[in-house]
Structure 1
Amino acid sequence: MLWIYNIGIVIYGLLVRLASLFNAKAALFVAGRKNSFEKMAQKINPADRPIWYHFASLGEFEQGRPVLEKLKSQYPNVKVVVTFFSPSGYEIRKNYLLADGIFYLPLDTPSHAQKFVALVNPRLAIFTKYEFWYHYFKTLHQQQIPIYLISGIFRPNQLFFKPYGGFYRKMLGFVKHFFVQNEESVQLLHGIGINRVSLSGDTRFDRVFENALRPKQLPEIEAFCGQEPVLVAGSTWPADEKLLVALANQNPDWKFIIAPHEIGASHISEIELLFPNAVKFSVLGSPLAQSSNLKSKILIIDNIGMLSSLYQYGKLAYIGGGFGAGIHNTLEAVAFGLPVIFGPKYDKFQEAKDLIAIGVAQSIGNENELLHAFNSLKSEEELKHRAKTYIENKKGATDMIIGYIKEEMKL
């Protein structure tokens, strides 16, 4: 199986290089990894023994961020190295001030893993939610550098739990301790003989709770919203945006803020075609657009990084991704007390199931279901309290994880 894995990594690298010729995200993926080891050598002193945090993308960064920031506050002299797999994480957080070095993770080959671990020489490695890289895990294990997985979540259909999944189970064996989100994950790991598991919950609850306490104020957004009720549509894809057209047309007394997952010029143009009277955030308040801004009921967010603060201005949220690979972050909206609506692909997300169970969320599959969900959630003021209580009751994973790591590592 190892040879298949190694060939798969090589093929993946070749395909990304080919895609980089015509895809901007792939181009960033390739360009960001050029001379990566030279960049690391310039910024990192192996004698510092930093803590290494790896994140797949931006969502995982925000999920693991409470652990990083609390450990850094308690041990300010301990260096921090952050790696990302995806450009959507690296490009947004490449200037994050609490990290002493931020890099793209080189592809998982034996030579890359050995060189990386030698250059960084971490005292421990923290991975968030998922991303299991065989050669990195093996090298860390061989060097007796502990690996911790935080906010992990496992499902029965994953390869780890299949009769033919021995190679993947071996990767799990390299991990020092698992901090998982739900009891199902605990039992699945126990079922394959892994008992180094704690039911900690999800660190995202700590992150969104803190964000809702001290959100960034956005005066332009506040002025746009005025006194009218607002639906914030976060991390939307084309399938989501098409559904929202009818909803917006049928509710002229509401304003809609659409923050798409992809903000390339072509996608923004597609949204403008769906909503001809919309205004883009980049021109919001400009003298040329001011008269139309005052009349527009639709605002398109054509930048990245604002979404977690946008929800403070909403009364209801629509979360995108549910007609594709899976819904995006519902908790950022719920932390502000917003009921949420999303598409049918939510089965991988425990919080989505919880929110449906307590009546704070509804899943929809078409325009009629969206309209029904909107009408049933928009005026339920009691849901705001229920949503915030859900977040508050779930926080605390960060303290549990840090307590364990401090005890283990004697930091």
Structure 2
Amino acid sequence: MISLGEGLFLLVYNLFVLPVLLAGAHLLAVVDGKFRRGVRGRYTCLRRLKAALAELSESRPRFLLHAASMGEFEHVRPFLRRLKQAVPDCWVAVTFFSPSGFENVRPDREVDFTMYLPFDWPWTMRRLFALLRPRALFISRYDVWPNQIWLAYRSGVPAFLLNASLTPTRFHRALLRPFLRPLYHRFATIFAASDVEAAAFADMVPGARLVVSGDTKFEQVWWRREQAQKQPILPAALHRQRPVLVCGSIWPEDAVHLLPALGRLWEEVPDLLVVLCPHEPEAEQVRRLLAAFPGREAVVFSRLDPASQPDVLVIDRVGILPLLYATARVAYVGGGFKQGVHNILEPAAYGIPVLFGPRHRNAPEAEWLKVAGAGFVVTGSADLHQSLRRLFNDPTFRDRAGRQAEQVVKAHLGATAKILCAVLDRLGRQHPAAAGAQRRSC
């Protein structure tokens, strides 16, 4: 039964908010290639899904996971890994909002099918659930679409929000929260990433359906660390005898501060190898980074000669950054001079100190690393240079910071098992196979 408040919210959303959002997306698609690819992909996604399901046995349990982009998907990979182990014959479809996810995630042992999230019209979401008939809908972190949640509920599909995050700003409290409350009420369980995140949901979700589980991204970065030991990404001769600084997820706003600091750092650490990984390694961004160091040998990863010894290595490939951190003594993670810092846990898992910019409220782990003496906030070029100089010239200080970084990651492992057991328990009330999987896995 739909409440008056929920009905009003959906009416306003479908008549006014969603048409404006989709009109804006189509206008942006005219001038922006990324938006254009995303819009086009949504017109064919359900047709692709129908073709894939035509070859699928009706007896296989099906699950649907949605992630905004590649980063949010990577965070929940440990959950999918364990789900596949618990329900070996299940079929997992993953939808993405952003091309960064759809274009870079391919079917593998954890994922059977990928597609764009359809436009959030009621009729397209109704068709999605009618075609797929999933046992459950999982959403990573925050990318919640009203008709998707409402139609899942109407279709009898329990929805779970994993690693749930909701910024508790004054704007949310004053304007959006009364409208969002009915939406979040439709979730079977919301798994909050931390106590802070749980507090943001507390007045919108019944207590029994709000669980502080921790964040599965800790397991993912730990798993990545183990994989890096099995598949080294750079030639040993390039980095084995040299100090290495890996700068990951770099934006132009980071480069403004980073590049002058590196110029000064080379005067004190002349054999330094700098690995620069732009957040979006498009051709123009790669060219700018290659040209930023006159007098230094700079090469791109795709053309790296295993016998060469460049000063700068610019990464022009997506998906290998976590493996690159395995070669570093120190890491800088970008985004902190733009909209918010990117994944600082990836380098921390390798036991190396991490530097990042001042905008890091989006990542609670930044504060944990700071308190542990393993994370260092920099506010500009001079500050960044001073921190890098100390970390490279004081091995005792660097090693102590690195050990603390590793401990922060290890202390937060365990979310995946907690979430999986709760999900299987909930599904076991509807599906006997899930009950059996819960007994085997929990």
Q: For this structure pair, what is the TM-score category when the shorter chain's length is used for normalisation? A: over 0.9
Between 240-249 and 68-77, the greater mean CA deviation after superposition: 240-249
What is the distance in 1 between the residues matched to 2:345 and 2:339?
A: 18
| Match in the other structure for 1:387 | 405
The CA distance in 1 between the partners of 2:154 and 2:233, in whole Å, is 53
Return the offset for 1:49. Answer: 4.2
**Bigger Cα displacement from structure 2, 302-311 vs 24-33:** 24-33
Q: Indicate the percent of aligned positions where both proteins have the same amino acid.
A: 29
- Give the residue type in structure 1 aligned to 2:303: V
Contact 1:62 1:204 in 2 (8 A): yes
Equivalences for 1:63-82 in 2 at 5 Å? 63-82=75-94
Instruction: Specify which of 130, 138, 143 is matched with residue 131 of structure 1.
Output: 143
* Aligned with 2:192 (options 148, 171, 180): 180
Q: CA deviation at 1:335?
A: 0.2
1:283 matched residue in structure 2: 303
Q: CA deviation at 1:393?
A: 1.0
Report the Cα offset of residue 221 of structure 1: 4.5
Q: Output one character per residue of 1:121-144: Cα deviation in whole Å (capped at 9) or x when no partner.
A: 111111111111100100111122
* Pairing partner for 2:219 from 185, 206, 209: 206
For normalisation by structure 1, the TM-score amounts to: 0.93
What is the aligned length?
405
Shift of 1:298: 0.8
Q: Distance in 1 between matches of 2:123 and 2:57?
A: 18
Q: Which residue of 2 aligns with 1:347?
A: 361
Q: Which amino acid aligns with 2:387?
A: A
TM-score (norm 2): 0.87
Tell me the alpha carbon deviations over residues 90-147 of structure 1, each in whole angstroms, 9 at most, x when there is no partner: 1000333432221110121111111111111111111111111100100111122111
1:352 Cα deviation from its structure 2 partner: 0.7
SS in 1 for 2:142: coil
- Return the letter of the residue paired with 2:405: A
Q: Is the 8 A contact 1:80 1:98 kept in 2?
A: yes
Deviates more, 1:28-37 or 1:105-114: 28-37
- Provide Cα deviations, 1:361-386, integer angstroms capped at 9, x if missing partner: 11112111111222343332112211
Which range moved further: 1-10 or 361-370? 1-10
State whether residues 248 and 321 of structure 2, in contact with CA within 8 Å, keep that contact through their aligned partners in structure 1. yes
Deviation at 1:244, TM superposition (A): 1.9
After the TM superposition, which residues 308-387 of structure 1 pair with which residues of structure 2 at under 5 Å, given as runs? Answer: 308-378=322-392, 379=394, 380=397, 381-387=399-405
Q: Relative to structure 2, which stretch is displaced further, 304-313 or 90-99?
A: 90-99
Superposition deviation, residue 321 in structure 1: 0.7
Task: Give the whole-Å Cα distance in 2 for the aligned partners of 1:158 and 1:179.
Answer: 23
How far residue 317 of structure 1 moved from its aligned partner, in angstroms, is 0.5
Distance 1:164 1:366, change over 3 A: closer
Q: 2:19 aligns to what?
A: 10
Question: In the alignment, which of 267, 273, 276 is matched to residue 258 of structure 1?
Answer: 276
Aligned residue number for residue 318 of structure 2? 304
Q: Quote the Cα distance in structure 2 between the aligned partners of 1:219 and 1:108.
A: 40
Which of residues 88, 96, 100 in structure 2 aligns to 1:84?
Answer: 96
Q: How far does the alpha carbon of each residue in 1:29-79 deviate from its partner, in whole angstroms, 9 at most, with x for none? A: 123223211111111259444111111111111111100111101211111
Whole-angstrom CA distance in 2 between matches of 1:330 and 1:352: 7
Structure-2 separation of matches of 1:94 and 1:40: 15
Trace 1:198-237 onto structure 2 (pairs within 5 A). Answer: 198-215=211-228, 217-218=231-232, 220-237=234-251
2:30 aligned counterpart, secondary structure: coil
Q: Does 1:146 align with 2:154?
A: no
Q: Distance in 1 between matches of 2:248 and 2:234?
A: 18
What is the Cα deviation at residue 9 of structure 1? Answer: 2.5
Q: How many Å separate the matches in 2 of 1:175 and 1:158?
A: 24
Which residue does the alignment assign to 1:270?
A: 288
Whole-Å Cα distance in 1 between the matches of residues 84 and 130 of structure 2? 23
Q: How far apart are 1:193 and its partner, in Å?
A: 5.0
Looking at structure 2, the residues matched to 283 and 120 of structure 1 have their Cα atoms a distance apart, in angstroms, of 43
Deviation at 1:82, TM superposition (A): 0.9
TM-aligned CA deviation for residue 154 of structure 1: 2.7
Q: Which runs of 5+ in 2 are unaligned?
A: 1-8, 429-433, 435-442
